[in-house]
Homo-oligomer: A and B are copies of this chain.
Amino acid sequence: MLYKTMSDEELFNEREKLTKEYDEICAKNLQLDMSRGKPNTAQLDISMGMMKGLADSPLVGEDGVDCRNYGTLDGIIEAKRLLSAMIECPIDNIIIYGNSSLNVMYDTVSRSMTHGVCGSTPWMKLDGTVKFLCPVPGYDRHFAITEFFGIEMINIPMDSNGPDMDLVEKYVSSDPMVKGIWCVPKYSNPSGITYSDEVVRRFAALKPAAEDFRIYWDNAYCIHHLFDEPENQDHILEILDECAKAGNPDMVYKFCSTSKVTFPGSGIAAVAASKKNIDFIKKQLTIQTIGHDKVNQLRHVKFFGGFDGMTEHMKRHAAILRPKFKTVLDTLETEIAPLGIAEWTNPRGGYFISLNTMDGCAKRVVELCKNAGVKLTGAGATYPYGKDPHDSNIRIAPTYPESDELKAACGVLVTCLKLASAEKLIAERS
């Protein structure tokens, strides 16, 4: 029965029942975590072979470079080949970095602050405040970078096709202080949606007022499908190519990493961009470092053999993750759908499910969960400055907990969601 159609008495009774349930849960002293998009132990185990792959290797790259020594600023050729297949770009348009694409994105913004973009004025030397567009809900760590550098963030609503492109076009074409937009275009964090072809084409055809406007295309989940059959996977137009076709070859930076392919924190990351961008980046990179970890690059190449091996490996991840997503979605479908108190996404890849409560309930749900021993991503985290204007979005990360723990956590979540909703409706009626 929909909560909204309940009589006052029915709603009071429901709240009383839920409060009792909640108290019983609290008494269990649970310690569960659905807060971060971390792979679980079983996922990490499938990459353990990587630790043995170099034991009898001379650690020499295919072009003869000794991977143990200094040099090779932009990565060994075979690592470029692997990640350019992953990120879908020509091998000459990629730089292989260290262990973190977040670090690459941070450095990209930091460099723009101090040195501008391909010859433009350093952002710190501009009069006025640099602005970034932020499709919401989005990735909290993106927003943390721009906030750290004092960049003003502007919310752009998302729907199932991607960001509101009317709004994006308006800001980008009219305001020269709009220098960037954060995108997770495929299996988006947190909604799991993938940008439609039309959205990608409209991105590629943007006419920025700022010459140093760039699209920050964080392709974090490019091969992170939940299903093996191509018809059950999302596909996205290749943005570098679309930008080139639209006459905007330099307008996008594409980021990726193997953090959720092998080991988070011990993987390899990359940026792909036009030759002009790559050349500019390298001028800075050669001051910053002599080179990234080539042994780890070689380790990844040897482990996968090639991109086909990586694709097969991702199927093993999917097999582990599918039931976890199913647990969350089944619980929501069974327990919440009949009540009409929330909506959620049903992604075909990535690491998250995006849950929208009734307006004004997200913080309360997260608080209730926390006090019951279930950690969720903080409410508001998916919005710039941590401010969800509707206080309704909750990012659910089903990947890390073990199966039993996840079921328990989902049980707590739905109880808290019901309780917060009943409280809210009662407050509205009084």
Contacts and interface: CB of A to CB of B under 8 A. Distances in A.
Interface of A: 36, 38-39, 41, 44, 47-48, 51-52, 54-55, 57, 59, 66-71, 98-100, 102-103, 106-107, 110, 113-115, 122, 124-125, 141, 144-145, 148-149, 259, 263-266, 284, 287-296
A229 B25 CA distance: 66
A70 B100 CA distance: 10
A69 B263 contact: yes
A296 B51 contact: no
Interface centre among A52, A99, A122 (most CB of B within 10 A): A99
Contacts of A44: 66, 68-69
Contact of A265 (B69, B125, B144): B69
A113 B107 CA distance: 13
Contacts of A39: 69
Given A69-B44, A114-B149, A124-B125, A265 B102 contact: no
Nearest to A110: B110
A59 B246 CA distance: 48
A405 to B, nearest CB: 16
A38 B124 contact: no
Contacts of A287: 106, 141, 144-145, 148
Which interface residue of A100, A113, A265, A289 has the most chain B CB atoms within 10 A? A265
Nearest to A148: B287
A167 B154 CA distance: 50
**Could you say which of A71, A103, A141 has the most chain B C-beta atoms within 10 Å of its C-beta?**
A103
Contact of A98 (B36, B57, B99): B99
Contacts of A59: 48, 51
A108 to B, nearest CB: 11
A144 to B, nearest CB: 5
Contact of A69 (B38, B113, B284): B38
Contacts of A295: 51, 263, 265-266
Given A68-B264, A141-B287, A293-B293, 20 more contacts: A38-B70, A44-B69, A48-B59, A51-B55, A68-B266, A69-B263, A99-B289, A99-B292, A100-B292, A106-B289, A107-B288, A110-B110, A113-B114, A113-B124, A114-B124, A124-B125, A144-B287, A148-B287, A263-B295, A265-B295
A103 B284 CA distance: 11
A115 B103 CA distance: 17
Contacts of A288: 102-103, 106-107, 145
Nearest to A264: B70
Given A114-B149, A284-B148, A265 B71 contact: yes
Nearest to A265: B291
Contact of A290 (B124, B265, B290): B265
A50 to B, nearest CB: 9
30 contacts: A38-B70, A44-B66, A48-B59, A51-B54, A51-B55, A51-B57, A51-B295, A55-B55, A68-B263, A70-B259, A70-B265, A99-B289, A100-B289, A100-B290, A100-B291, A102-B288, A102-B289, A106-B288, A110-B110, A113-B114, A114-B124, A114-B149, A145-B288, A148-B284, A264-B290, A265-B290, A265-B291, A266-B296, A293-B293, A296-B296
A291 B295 CA distance: 19
A36 B290 CA distance: 11
A294 B173 CA distance: 44
Contact of A36 (B70, B266, B292, B294): B70
A131 B259 CA distance: 39
Contacts of A71: 265
B66 A289 contact: no
A52 B287 CA distance: 33
Nearest to A294: B265
A223 to B, nearest CB: 19
